[in-house]
Amino acid sequence: MSEVPDGISLGSVERKAPRPTATMTMTRDGPHGVEVLLGLRSETMAAFPGYWAFPGGGLSRVDQTAIEQLNGFEGPEAKAMACILREMSEELGLAPSPDGLVQLPLEVRQEIIADKSKYLPLALKGAFPYHTGFMRTLSHRITPPFGPIQFDNAFIHLHAGPAEKVPEIDLEPQTEFTQIMWDTPVNILARWSAHEIKVAPPVVTLLMEIERTLIRKNRDMVSASIDISERLPGRRSILFAHGVEVVPVKTATLPPADHTNCYLVGDPNGDFILVDPASHLREGMEDIAKAVERHNGELKAMMFTHSHGDHIGDIGLLREAFDVPIWGSEYTSRTVKCDRILNDGEFLELGNQTWKVLITPGHHPGHICLLSEAGLIAGDMVAGIGTILVPPHTGDMNEYLFQLERLKKMKPHLLFPSHGPVIALPEKKFDHYIRHRMARHQAVLEAVENGKQTLEEIARHAYADTPSAHPGLARDQTLSHLVAHHRAGLVSEKSNLWSLTDTKT
């Protein structure tokens, strides 16, 4: 992403009320202690593809009708519980009874999967139980402000008892999960810390809370559940990966994003750095300071991926608040006083973690990415929401495409962008960016080949397949492509008119 080009007004982001959702935190007593149920989300899912997560979904009118006509649904979380029972019937084929979980008849489950409104009439007919007596709300969390859509999620807990009494789960009828896993919180967190599996950030922090409470409650999940439900702990940290915590900071960036991700990168119990502490406002500074204060390690430095205004915070306040060196590339040091210049290929030893410095120009000269087993701190090379601009005067479209290919070949575990949520499928994201940019690159050249000469004409031709594109941004990016073609010797410009070079004709 980038600062909005001069002279282009995009307005502000309209943030709507969070959408209500619910997820099921199901546990059982396994041979080695309390186990938690997670499902591996299909890579075709829009949210958290390829991640292990809790079953669940969005609250609907069907759920409201259910609590009005079925017995046992009371209190502020009644609709969330109705949602969870319906989602359980679809995704897991299970229903809670006073005597434990039971399997739904296959034909009943298939009816609900085909049409969720069938849940209520089937429940009223007694096709399956819907006991809510053992369900509790463990936490309520609103997803971070990465974009205009947020979710207010209720984590509903159900302890299913001894493992031998929990029915087998058949995934065949549904399409959301490709695998299921029962395992202890300790084992799941250990595999996540070793970057063996991807676990949704809110699941990670809730598993940490469950494990801490189990220790205090002598490994008794029912007592732990009661304890957590009484405290209703909220979100403290947003852990994109082991050693990668994010603090969203309000900035004047390109809509639909309105935040820049500040990252705490490094050993969770040792040395770490702040990447892009971009705050100019007190609220953002306080959020960053609280994250640094609760970190178990020692802050060694602040680092900027590049010197765009939505990545550089108030340097005076930052130095006053943290009193640590500033690191950046040679180009960034031209506008920000850097105590250490970072170079391509060098390694940062941050406690027990090692991060490799990659200089990746294209979006901006001297742009820095950081790579480790956890993934890639990607800066503005890609975005989790919105798009990336390549400014025509300080950017380089050809170099940007080259660096995308370079990063793709490194096969990072995850992508941690400066704007938007963590990106679960890096190769898919890189492929999309490269195809999209190359197609636009060719469309701009074809416009000149077809006799279009002015920037406006070329932009209209190149963006004909994207009528919703902002005209100012379309012209800005078209100019970036034209400049790249000019550097490659394919087009020339005279008096603001573009044409093919003599060698092309």
Domain membership of residue 6 (yes or no) is: no
Cα dihedral across residues 331, 332, 338, 341: positive or negative = negative
Please give the mean pLDDT across all residues of the chain: 94
What is the distance, to the nearest Å, from the Cα of residue 486 to the centroid of all Cα atoms in its chain? Answer: 37
- Supply the CATH number for residue 481's domain: 1.10.10
Residue 505 placed within a domain: no
47 inside domain: yes
In a domain, 300, yes or no: yes
Residues 202 and 262 in one domain: no
129 and 40 co-located in one domain: yes
Contact 471, 479 (CB under 8 A): no
Q: Say if residue 315 is in the same domain as residue 405.
A: yes
State the CATH number of the domain containing residue 171: 3.90.79.10
pLDDT digits (tens, 9 = 90+) for 124-154: 999 999 999 999 999 999 988 876 678 999 9
Mean pLDDT of 66-77: 93
Is residue 291 domain-shared with residue 195, that is, in the same domain? no
Q: What is the pLDDT of residue 257?
A: 80
Q: Based on the domain organization, do 369 and 452 belong to the same domain?
A: no
On whether both 57 and 188 belong to a single domain, the answer is yes
Do 227 and 343 fall within a single domain?
Answer: no
**262 plus 332 within the same structural domain:** yes
Spatial separation of the C-alpha atoms in residues 447 and 222, rounded to whole Å? 67
Please write the tens of the pLDDT for every residue from 39-64.
Answer: 999 999 988 999 999 999 999 999 99
Q: Which of 213, 231, 249 is the last residue of a domain?
A: 231
pLDDT for res 148: 63
Write out pLDDT tens, residues 324-338.
999 999 999 999 999
Are 206 and 294 in a shared domain?
no
- CATH number of the CATH domain containing 264: 3.60.15.10
Residue 45 half-sphere exposure toward CB, CA atoms < 13 A:
21
Question: Is residue 87, in this structure, part of any structural domain at all?
Answer: yes
| Domain containing residue 286 | 239-424
Co-location of 349 and 388 in the same domain: yes
Among 424, 448, 472, the domain-final residue is 424
pLDDT tens digits, residue range 80-126?
999 999 999 999 999 999 999 999 999 999 999 999 999 999 999 99
Residue 14 lies in a domain: no
| Section 224-242 average pLDDT | 93
Both 219 and 151 in a single domain?
Answer: yes
In this predicted structure, what is the pLDDT of residue 17?
84
- Residue 383's Cα: distance from chain center in Å? 10
For residue 159, being part of any structural domain is answered with: yes
Q: Are residues 119 and 48 in the same domain?
A: yes
5 falls within a domain: no
Nearest one of 100, 144, 139, 108 to 125, comparing CA atoms: 108
pLDDT tens digit string along 174-219?
A: 999 999 999 999 999 999 999 999 999 999 999 999 999 999 999 9
Q: Report how far residue 366's alpha carbon sits from residue 375's, in angstroms, rounded to the nearest whole number.
A: 20
The model's pTM? 0.93
pLDDT band at residue 252, thresholds of 50, 70 and 90? Answer: confident
State the burial class of residue 164 (Cβ atoms within 10 Å of its Cβ: 0-12, 13-18, 19+): exposed
Asked which of 231, 260, 292 is the last residue of a domain, the reply is: 231
Q: For the chain, what is the domain count? A: 3
